[in-house]
Amino acid sequence: IFPGIADLFSTPDKASDYIYPLLSFAAEHIPRAKHKETPLYILCTAGMRILPESQQEAILEDLRTDIPVHFDFLFSDSHAEVISGKQEGVYAWIGINFVLGRFDHIEDEDAAVVEVNVPGNENQEAVVRKRTSGVLDMGGISTQIAYEVPKTVSFASSQQEEVAKNLLAEFNLGCDAHHTEHVYRVYVATFLGFGGNAARQRYEDLIFVNMTMKNRQLGTQIGLNTDSPYLDPCLPLGMKDEIQQGGQTLHLQGTGDFDLCRQVIQPFINKTNETLSSLSGVYQPPIDYQNSEFYGFSEFFYCTEDVLRMGGDYDAAKYAKAAKGYCATKWTTLKERFDRGLYASHADLHRLKYQCFKSAWVYEVFHTGFSFPTSYTNLKTALLVYDREVQWTLGAILYRTRFLPLRDIQQGFRGNHSHWRGFSIVNNHYLFFACFLIVLLSIILYLLRLRRIHRRMQRNTSATALWVEEGISPQNIPTTL
């Protein structure tokens, strides 16, 4: 439901009423006898995180007070909370790797494996288990990266170690806290302002400031009218756009130069010279590029697929060539193609206008910011995993109920990924069908028996009436007919 619950900050007493339809939907689909043993979690993310703590608590308090009155789910005060960006990233990582089957214990000769120094047991032999997949997600405002760190990381200084602790999450996905072979060490970092739209806004703000100062110093009029627009390399060739700030308007015209655009936006990556650093110099553990895999979501997918139609396996050289060609294509031609429906159905004019900039931004974030080599071929850009949109909520419920028996719920996500599970499900269907036939046959036989008994009683009654009419005493009626 939209908008998010954070929009109720001025009327927190309406929070429980607002999500009542969602809980009613759940209550209808979960057997009533199971409500008391069904845990309910209400986890709030970015929208709530930006609210003052007092407003957060007011909304949560309304939920904690009213929900138990109307629903019998297993719900305590601690089940309603605002989670951190780090938690959200971990849950997204768990959800995607669960759907991909990376936590399975099934022997698979084709599956890639990795040696892991299990956190807390560094002195023991390394555990060999399935290689997990890393996650890249670029939204409109922020960019996030999450991946497993299989080896113990050494730090150059205590200060760097302290920073790393805030970015590394260690957790146990086993059904028992003592099963340390299921302990994972995952790096999660969220970069506000590094989403596609936020980056474009920062870029435009800098253009406006620089051109305003330059015009004042040199007495020029660049960008102040349509006759002398600011030439923007990050807009398609010939496209015209405007920036408005403080009542002033700056006119832009695209030159469609992909390589120059990359150069212009590189400073926004704010990469330091340190080896173990990422965007804005944030600590980033080393990645084994030869034995790793990443999935790119949101803008990573939209930028490669919506216009360039290259979603899926990422190839840096092919992507850069396609992006360069798009930028250098006249805006009138791009608009004509759009009107003819040659792009993805959900691609709009906003996507067309800023595809050139976002193509360059995604390229720079991936290769300059996160330091992936241009030869890296194990990135898959995707909207769905196994035809399902995987959200962080899946990982959250898996983690928080990990001590409960999960049975075969994986079947709902990955079809025939596991042969023995598929065999079990098929056998269960046959067994159910056989039981159903047996019960049905028993009922039919019983009804037939009742029918024979009923007919026999009717014949007995008719014979008795006949003998009474003929003057035969009932005591002399034969017991066997």
| Domain limits, the chain | 5-82, 419-476
The sheet carrying 248-254 orders its strands as 230-232, 248-254, 240-245
What's the CA gap between 459 and 258, in Å, rounded? 99
Please count the other Cβ atoms lying within 10 Å of the Cβ belonging to residue 83.
19
List pLDDT tens digits, range 173-189: 887 777 778 899 999 99
Q: For residue 43, what are the CA distances in angstroms to 97, 141, 262, 296, 415?
A: 21, 20, 38, 24, 29
Phi-psi region of 231 (alpha: psi -120 to 50; beta: other; left: phi over 0): beta
Which has more confidence, 63 or 274? 63
What's the CA gap between 242 and 224, in Å, rounded? 10
The hierarchical CATH code for the domain 5-82 is 3.30.420.40
Q: Is the pLDDT of residue 129 over 60?
A: yes
Query: Catalytic: 470?
Result: no
Question: pTM for this one?
Answer: 0.78
Asked whether 134 and 148 are in contact (CB, 8 A), the reply is yes
Strands 248-254 and 379-381: unpaired
- Which of 37, 57, 61, 88 does the annotation list as catalytic? 88
Q: Residues 178-205: what's their mean pLDDT?
A: 91
Q: Return the pLDDT at 180.
A: 78
Q: Which residues are annotated as a binding site for ATP?
A: 140-144
Q: Return the pLDDT at 479.
A: 43
